[in-house]
Amino acid sequence: MSTRKPSSSPAPGSVGEYLRAQGISRRGFLKFCTATASMMALSPAFVPRLVEALEKAPRPSVIWLSFQECTGCTESLTRSHAPTVEGLIFDAISLDYHHTLQAASGEAAELAREEAMKENWGKYVLVVDGSIPLGNPGFSTIAGISNVDMLMDTAKGAAAIVSVGTCAAYGGLPQADPNPTGAVSVQDLIKDKPIINVPGCPPIPVVITGVLAHFLAFGLPELDELNRPKVFYGQNIHDRCYRRPFYERGQFAETFDDEGAKKGWCLYKLGCKGPTTYNACATTKWNQGASFPIESGHGCLGCSEPRFWDGGSFYKALSVPTGDLGQTAGYALAAGGAVGIAAGLLARQKKAQAVKDHETVTVNDLHKGEHS
C-alpha cells in the first residue's frame, strides 16, 4: 500500500480545486476517485495516486467537434444520471466549444473555437464525434467551413485527439456501403497526433469520461491495435458475459421467444457478436449499471468494432464453430466472415498477448503507486 497521503489542498486552477469550488466535499472527491479507479479496473491501492494526480492536474481546455453522426454519442454522455462520476469529470473539464451543447452559434461560436485554440495552443484536447465526408466536403459544413477543413485546422494545436463513437473512430454508419459521402475516420486523416479511439454506437458514457479522467491524471492510456484504451476495451463481451455458463453447456436460445430465451440461455445462435466484440458493456453496463443489451435479451451487435454495420447480418450467427469459442479469450475476427482454424489460433495468440499486456500495465502501475 502507498504510504503517501494525498495533499489536502488542490493546486490552484486544477481539476481538484474546481471540483471543491463546485461544492464537492473531500469525501465526495475521494469517492469519485475510488469509483473512477474501479471503473478503470485498477486496484484500490491506485486511488491515492489518482487523487493526487487529479488534485494537481490543470483543468484542460476541450474543444468538441461533431461531424456526420446521429448525436447519439453526445446524448449518451449527457443523458447520464446526476451527480455521477461522468457528470463530475465532465464538469471538471473546461469545455470551451461543443457544437451541440453550446449556446453560441454561427460566427460567435467559431470565434470561441479560435480563441480557445489560441489560448491553449498545444495543450487542448480535441474530442471529435462523427465521420468526415471527403466525397463532397460540402455535404457537411459548419459556419461555411467543411468538416475536413475544420478538423485539420483544429487538430494542429491539439495535445491529443479523442475520437468518440464508432463514426469518428472507424467511419461508422456514414461509411457503411455504399458510403455515399465518402466518409472517413479521424485517424484516416490525422497522422501526427496521439489519437484515442472510444468506439461504440454510442459509447458507454462512463467510458468516455473514464478516458478523459485517465488522460487528465496519467496521460495517454495504453492502446490496443485499434487505438482503443486497453483498460476499457481489453476484454471481449463473450469472456465477461453472465450467460457464458449456458454457452459452455451448449444451451442456446433458437428464437427470441422459445423456452431457451425465457430461461436466459446463450444468444450465440441468434447472432450475438459478443465473441468478436471488445468493450466494457458486460462489466460496466449502462444506465447506472442497470443492464446491457444481452441482459435485456438481445445479442450484442458489435458496435465497437470496425465496419459492424456491414459485417454480416445482426441476426445471423457468427460462422465460428461454437466449440471453438469455448476456451478462447475471444477472436479478433470479422463478424460473419469465414474463419479457418489457423486464423482462430492466431487470433487466440493475439488475444492472449493483449490480455497479458493489460495485466502487465496494471501491475506495473500499481508497483509505481507503491514505491513512488
What is the DSSP code (8-state) at residue 200? S
Q: Which of 242, 245, 243, 269 is nearest to 255 (CA)?
A: 269
**Least distance between ligand FSX and beta carbon 88 (Å):** 22
Residue nearest to ligand FSX (CB): 72
Q: How many CA atoms lie within 13 A of 41 on its CB side?
A: 19
What minimum distance in Å lies between the beta carbon of 279 and ligand FSX?
A: 12
Instruction: List residues near ligand FSX by CB under 6 A.
Output: 69-73, 129-130, 165-167, 172-173, 201-202
Matching residue, cell 422459445 = 258
Nearer to ligand FSX, 54 or 63 (CB): 63
Distance in Å, CB of 205 to ligand FSX, minimum: 12
Nearer to ligand FSX, 75 or 258 (CB): 75
Q: How far apart are CA 125 and CA 326, in angstroms?
A: 41
For ligand FSX, give the closer residue by CB, 35 or 70.
70
Contact 42, 34 (CB under 8 A): no
Q: What is the DSSP letter of 236?
A: B
Asked if 36 contacts 210 with a C-beta cutoff of 8 angstroms, the reply is yes
Q: Which one, 48 or 306, has the nearer CB to ligand FSX? A: 306
Shortest Å distance, C-beta 74 to ligand FSX: 6
Closest CA to 244 of 282, 188, 187, 204: 282
CB distance 184 to 145 below 8 Å? no
Write down the least CB distance from residue 204 to ligand FSX, Å.
Answer: 11
Report, in Å, the least distance between residue 129 CB and ligand FSX.
3
Q: Which is nearer to ligand FSX, 36 or 304 (CB)?
A: 304
Cβ proximity to ligand FSX: between 6 and 229 the closer is 229
| CA 302 remoteness from chain centre | 13
